[in-house]
Amino acid sequence: MKRLLQAYRCPDHVEARRELRRWYRTALGVNLQEREQQLLSQVLPNLFGYHLLQVGRPMESDFLASSRITHRIVMDEVLPQSDFSGEESFLSQSDEWPIASDSLDVALLPHTLEYVARPHEVLREAERTLIPEGHLLIVGFNPWSQFGIRRLFSGWRNESPWCGHFYSTLRLRDWLALLGFDTVLVRHYFFRPPLQNEGIMRRLRKFERAGERLWSPFGGGYLLVAKKRVTTLTPIKPRWRTRRSLVSVGSTEPTVRRNRI
């Protein structure tokens, strides 16, 4: 069974991202998107700083709208269909971020790890670019859910989202701990079956609250929030600076002259 699930891989990760964006326009995708937006709107307003980076945009809605951070950036391997006010966007590889080290306050990975060839490199880039005590948010599909069961029977078709590699929160917590992160929050959501019938999905909304209380680990998706640890080997930059350089352009910073007395 494990070998079978590992064999389900999207042959083209870039095309899989485009298909995922189209899937989020379906009835099931819209319902999932609404729940994810609600969950992020409860977490993002409590995270502060200067720079926020979202890696990948699997849907057209603005996931960062509820954030209080003014400088919001979206990086993706696929051209966006629309831009939102208050954010910048550019193209780049998901596992090679053109971002200066120790410069980000918050990084968001919305279904990013499922559709990359090197998920470990994505997490290493997050660790490199986040400041000490910076936050990493991961939105993912739960393999131990009805979504995971659907993937078992549909992954062979090489269609998004079912061809993606679903990682459990236990595995992610192990990876993040090795990279120097502390997991501070895990929230599971969407306890309805992955059906495209809008009428059935609407009638099953009552299962959302019951699922959070009774079978929380088996939600179709999860939000994991981790904080980068502060260590003696990592220099801590003063937080009173008004602006940090986000992208290094190779220019020399001017020095401040002091008059001799």
Per-residue pLDDT of the chain (261 residues; tens, 9 = 90+): 455 445 567 878 889 999 999 999 999 999 999 999 999 999 999 999 999 999 999 987 789 999 999 999 999 987 665 566 567 888 888 899 999 999 999 999 999 999 999 999 999 999 999 999 999 999 999 999 999 999 988 877 788 999 999 999 999 999 999 999 999 999 999 999 998 888 888 887 877 777 777 878 899 999 999 999 987 455 556 555 555 666 655 544 444 444 444
Indicate the pTM of the whole model: 0.84
Q: What is the pLDDT of residue 233?
A: 53
Instruction: Check residue 83 and give its pLDDT.
Output: 60
User: What pLDDT does 255 receive?
Assistant: 46
Q: What is the pLDDT of residues 66-119, one digit of tens each?
A: 999 999 999 998 766 556 656 788 888 889 999 999 999 999 999 999 999 999
Compute the C-alpha angle 158/163/165, nearest 5°.
155
pLDDT at residue number 77 = 85
Quote the tokens at residue 142.
Answer: 């739960």
Residue 203, pLDDT score: 81
What does the pLDDT read at residue 260? 42
